[in-house]
């Protein structure tokens, strides 16, 4: 299972735009880097066609997004 698939299945859905669903997920280990820092967090966009794309985000950004939780 890809990290993006796991994020969609197990992550927290957030409300940030119409037409797509967004999920925040904290992996068990570092998954990449953003803003020069290693991170365990990913934001995944799932569009209406069922396609998804994710990228690493900082812990701070994840917490900001989670404040928008549905």
What confidence category does residue 70 fall into, taking pLDDT thresholds of 50, 70 and 90?
A: low
pLDDT at 20: 87
**pLDDT tops 80 at residue 25:** yes
Q: 32-57: per-residue pLDDT in tens?
A: 999 899 999 999 999 888 899 999 99
How do the domains of the chain map onto residue ranges?
3-66
Taking residues 49-70, report their average pLDDT.
89
pLDDT at 54: 95
pLDDT at 7: 96
At 19, list the tokens: 């037409």
**Any idea what the Cα angle at residue 11 is, between residues 10 and 14, rounded to 5°?**
145
DSSP state of 1: -
């Amino acid at each position: 299972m890809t990290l993006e698939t796991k994020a969609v299945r197990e992550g927290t859905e957030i409300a940030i735009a119409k037409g797509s669903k967004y999920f925040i997920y904290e992996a068990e280990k570092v998954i990449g880097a953003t803003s020069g820092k290693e991170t365990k967090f990913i934001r995944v966009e799932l569009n209406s066609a069922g396609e998804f794309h994710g990228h690493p985000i900082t812990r701070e950004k994840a917490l900001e997004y989670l404040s928008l939780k549905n």
